[in-house]
C-alpha cells in the first residue's frame, strides 16, 4: 500500500493540483530564502568569496547524489512518505541555519554548510515527488501541459517569496528573524500532506524485471535525446544568469539596471507559463521545444550587440518567453515516453543532470568569459543550442510511438 494523489473528477484534480502547488511553494520558498540569506551571513562574518561559493554549491551538490534514491522511493511509495522526508530535511536545514546565528567561528560555518546541504536535498526530493504526483493528475498531453505550466509558476513564485521575505526580515530583525520565518514555511507543507488523500498505489507491471538496474531506464527510446535537449536549455538559463551581470558591469550599468534586465527575463518566464494552459489544446510539445531552441540560439547570437539596457531588456524578454515554455514541454514529454511506474526515476535522472550542470557549468562560463569575454559566452552557447536542435527531429517519432504511456495505470 502507498499513497499518491488520484483524483477522479476535474474538481478533485484542481484541488489536488492547488494543494501540490501550495506545499511546494512553501517548501521551495524556505530553501530559496535560506540560499539568499546564508551567503550574506557568511560575508558579514568575514568569510571569503570561496567560502560563499562552497555554501552555494552545497545547495546543489547533495541533490545530485540523492536524486535517484528519491525517485525510486517516490515510485514505490507515492507522495506522502518521500514528501515527509523532503519536509524533514528542509526543516533540519533551516534549523541549522537558525542555530548558526547563536554561535560564531567555525561552528557557525559548519552549521551553515550542513544547513545548506540538508535544505538543498530536501527541496530537491520535494521537487521530484511533486512533479511525479502532478503528472499522475493528467490523462493526456493537453492536461499535462496545463498541470506542469501551473506548477512551473509555483516554482517561480517560491523563488520570489522566499528571498524577498528573508531580505525584509534581515533588515528588520537580523538573520535569526529571517531563518525563523523560513522555518515556518515547511509547516505549511505538513498541513498540505494531511489534505492530500492517501490511496493504494497500483502494482508495478509484470513486464518489468525484478531488480531492474537503475540506469536501465536510459534505454527508453527518446529519453537520452530529451535529457540532452533539457541540458542544453537549462545551461542556456545559467548562461543568461551569469553573462548578463558580467556584460552589464563591463558596460558600466548600475546594479538596478542589471537587476531590471534579469527581472524582465523572470517576468517573461511567468507570462509564458500563464499563457500555456490557455493554449494547451493547440500546442505540441516537440514543436514548442524546436521553436524554443531556434529562438534561444537566435537571441544569444544578437545579445552581445544589444548596446543599450532597453535592447538587452528586449533580448531578455524573448529569451524568457523561449526558456519559460521549456519546462512544461520537457516534463510532459518525459511522462509521455517513460513507463508510469518509473516516472520518479525519470524525473530523478533529469534532476541529476540539471543540478550537476548548475554546479559545474558556471565554472566553465567563468573560464570562457575571462578568456574570451562575456559576448563569446553567448555565442558559444547559442551555437551549442542551434547545433543541438538536431536532437528534436527524432523526438516526434518516439513521442508518437509512446502513445500507450499517455494513460496512467488503473
Residue with cell 515527488: 129
Provide the 10 A C-beta neighbour count for residue 63: 27
Residue 32: its H or E element: helix 10-44
Say what the pLDDT of residue 297 is: 93
pLDDT at residue 382 greater than cutoff 70:
yes
* pLDDT average, residue stretch 78-98: 93
Distances in Å between the Cα of 15 and the Cα atoms of 7, 48, 395 are 9, 47, 33
Tell which wins on pLDDT, 47 or 303: 303
DSSP annotation of 3 reads B
Share of the chain above pLDDT 70, in %: 86
Say what the pLDDT of residue 96 is: 95
Mean pLDDT of the chain: 82
Provide the 10 A C-beta neighbour count for residue 388: 16
Q: For residue range 132-187, what is the model confidence (pLDDT) as tens digits?
A: 888 888 777 788 888 888 888 888 788 778 888 888 888 888 899 999 999 999 99
DSSP characters for 46-70? Answer: T--HHHHHHHHHHHHHHHHHHHHHH
pLDDT band, very low/low/confident/very high, at 319 (cuts 50, 70, 90): very high
pLDDT band, very low/low/confident/very high, at 301 (cuts 50, 70, 90): very high
Residue 391: its H or E element: none
DSSP annotation of 254 reads -
CA distance 97 to 110: 10
CA distance 337 to 274: 25
Contact between residue 123 and residue 28 where contact means Cβ atoms under 8 Å apart = yes
Q: For residue range 390-400, what is the model confidence (pLDDT) as tens digits?
A: 877 777 666 66
pLDDT band, very low/low/confident/very high, at 296 (cuts 50, 70, 90): very high
Say what the pLDDT of residue 203 is: 47
Say what the pLDDT of residue 98 is: 95
DSSP annotation of 45 reads T
CA distance 203 to 409: 9
- Tell me which range, 50-59, 70-79, 88-97, 215-224, is most confidently predicted by mean pLDDT: 88-97
pLDDT at residue 407 greater than cutoff 60:
no
Q: For residue range 243-278, what is the model confidence (pLDDT) as tens digits?
A: 787 788 778 887 667 777 877 888 888 889 888 888
Contact between residue 81 and residue 2 where contact means Cβ atoms under 8 Å apart = yes
pLDDT band, very low/low/confident/very high, at 363 (cuts 50, 70, 90): low
DSSP characters for 85-122? Answer: HHHHHHHHHHHHHHHHTT--SHHHHHHHHHHHHHHHHH
Q: For residue range 91-144, what is the model confidence (pLDDT) as tens digits?
A: 999 999 999 999 888 899 999 999 999 999 999 999 999 988 888 887 777 888
- Quick one: which of 263, 262, 268, 386 has its CA closest to 321? 268
* pLDDT average, residue stretch 231-238: 87
pTM for the complete prediction?
0.77
Say what the pLDDT of residue 213 is: 56
* pLDDT average, residue stretch 188-202: 75
* pLDDT average, residue stretch 77-82: 87
Classify residue 148 as exposed, middle or buried by CB count within 10 Å of its CB (0-12, 13-18, 19+). buried
Contact between residue 208 and residue 102 where contact means Cβ atoms under 8 Å apart = no
Say what the pLDDT of residue 121 is: 92
Angle at 323 between CA 136 and CA 219, to 5 degrees: 50
Amino acid at each position: 500500500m502507498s499513497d499518491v494523489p488520484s483524483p477522479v473528477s476535474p474538481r478533485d484534480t484542481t484541488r489536488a493540483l492547488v494543494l501540490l502547488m501550495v506545499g511546494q511553494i512553501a517548501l521551495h520558498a524556505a530553501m530559496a530564502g535560506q540560499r539568499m540569506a546564508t551567503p550574506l551571513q557568511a560575508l558579514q562574518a568575514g568569510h571569503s568569496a570561496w567560502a560563499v561559493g562552497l555554501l552555494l554549491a552545497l545547495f546543489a551538490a547533495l541533490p545530485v547524489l540523492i536524486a535517484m534514491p528519491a525517485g525510486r522511493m517516490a515510485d514505490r511509495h507515492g507522495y506522502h512518505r518521500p514528501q515527509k522526508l523532503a519536509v524533514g530535511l528542509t526543516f533540519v536545514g533551516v534549523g541549522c541555519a537558525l542555530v548558526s546565528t547563536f554561535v560564531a567561528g567555525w561552528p557557525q560555518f559548519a552549521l551553515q554548510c550542513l544547513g545548506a546541504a540538508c535544505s538543498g536535498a530536501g527541496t530537491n526530493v520535494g521537487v521530484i515527488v511533486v512533479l511525479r504526483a502532478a503528472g499522475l493528475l493528467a490523462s493526456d498531453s493537453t492536461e499535462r501541459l496545463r498541470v506542469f505550466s501551473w506548477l512551473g509558476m509555483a516554482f517561480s513564485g517560491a523563488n520570489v517569496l522566499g528571498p524577498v521575505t528573508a531580505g525584509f526580515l534581515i533588515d528588520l530583525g537580523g538573520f535569526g528573524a529571517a531563518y525563523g520565518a523560513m522555518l515556518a514555511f515547511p509547516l505549511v507543507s505538513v498541513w498540505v500532506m494531511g489534505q492530500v488523500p492517501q490511496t493504494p498505489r497500483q502494482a508495478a507491471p509484470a513486464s518489468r524485471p525484478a531488480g531492474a538496474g537503475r540506469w536501465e531506464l536510459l534505454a527508453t527510446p527518446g529519453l537520452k535525446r530529451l535529457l540532452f535537449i533539457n541540458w542544453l536549455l537549462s545551461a542556456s538559463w545559467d548562461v543568461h544568469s551569469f553573462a548578463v551581470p558580467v556584460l552589464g558591469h563591463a558596460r558600466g550599468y548600475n546594479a538596478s539596471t542589471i537587476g531590471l534586465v534579469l527581472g524582465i527575463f523572470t517576468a517573461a518566464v511567468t507570462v509564458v507559463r500563464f499563457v500555456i494552459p490557455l493554449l494547451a489544446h493547440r500546442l505540441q510539445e516537440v514543436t514548442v521545444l524546436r521553436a524554443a531552441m531556434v529562438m534561444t540560439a537566435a537571441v544569444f547570437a544578437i545579445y552581445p550587440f544589444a548596446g543599450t539596457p532597453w535592447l538587452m531588456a528586449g533580448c531578455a524578454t524573448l529569451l524568457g518567453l523561449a526558456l519559460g515554455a521549456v519546462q512544461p514541454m520537457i516534463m510532459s514529454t518525459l511522462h509521455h515516453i517513460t513507463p508510469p511506474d518509473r516516472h520518479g526515476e525519470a524525473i530523478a535522472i533529469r534532476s541529476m543532470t540539471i543540478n550537476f550542470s548548475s554546479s559545474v557549468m558556471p565554472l566553465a562560463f567563468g573560464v570562457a568569459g575571462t578568456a574570451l569575454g562575456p559576448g563569446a559566452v553567448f555565442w558559444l552557447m547559442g551555437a551549442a543550442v542551434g547545433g543541438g536542435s538536431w536532437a528534436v527531429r527524432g523526438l516526434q517519432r518516439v513521442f508518437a510511438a509512446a502513445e500507450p504511456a499517455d494513460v496512467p495505470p488503473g
